[in-house]
Amino acid sequence: MEAIGAFYIAQTNNSRLPTFTAAYDEETTTITVTASETPLSVHFWYANTAQSRDFRMQTLGDKWVGRSVPASLDGSYSATIGEPESGWNAGYMQLRMKGPFSGIDHIFTTRVWITPDTYPQAP
């Protein structure tokens, strides 16, 4: 609800929203994020599944694990998903950025990347 509230307040007040870009390196399975302003925090969320390429909560359960990501010297944030021993790994980044009012922050996420980028059977 916090993120929706921050977005709503920003829209109704014609406030500028922070922006970010995300890039994924398929060779290293690394996600790199840069933001228009310094985030309050950045977290990397990741999970593994051996049975299927399905990372939804109702299928996988509570297996997503998060960790804080420090800024690099250039101000970007990077985390590596890594190749799984079996099955698939998935990961995404979450940025918390200063919102329109104290205690009401913007929360942004990247898309989810899955490695390896293969399917158990042809789509």
- Give the tens place of pLDDT for each residue, 105-120: 899 999 999 999 888 7
The yes-or-no verdict on residue 7 having pLDDT over 80 is no
The yes-or-no verdict on residue 103 having pLDDT over 80 is no
| Cα 54 to Cα 34: distance, rounded to the nearest angstrom | 28
32-83: pLDDT as tens digits:
999 999 999 999 999 999 888 888 888 887 889 999 999 999 999 999 999 9
Task: State the CB neighbour count (10 A cutoff) for residue 18.
Answer: 18
Q: Who contacts 30 (Cβ-Cβ below 8 Å, separation ≥6)?
A: 24, 78, 79, 80, 81
CATH 3.40.50 is the classification of domain 2-115: no
Domain extent listing, the chain: 2-115
pLDDT at res. 15: 76
pLDDT at res. 67: 98
Mean pLDDT (whole number) for 80-94: 96
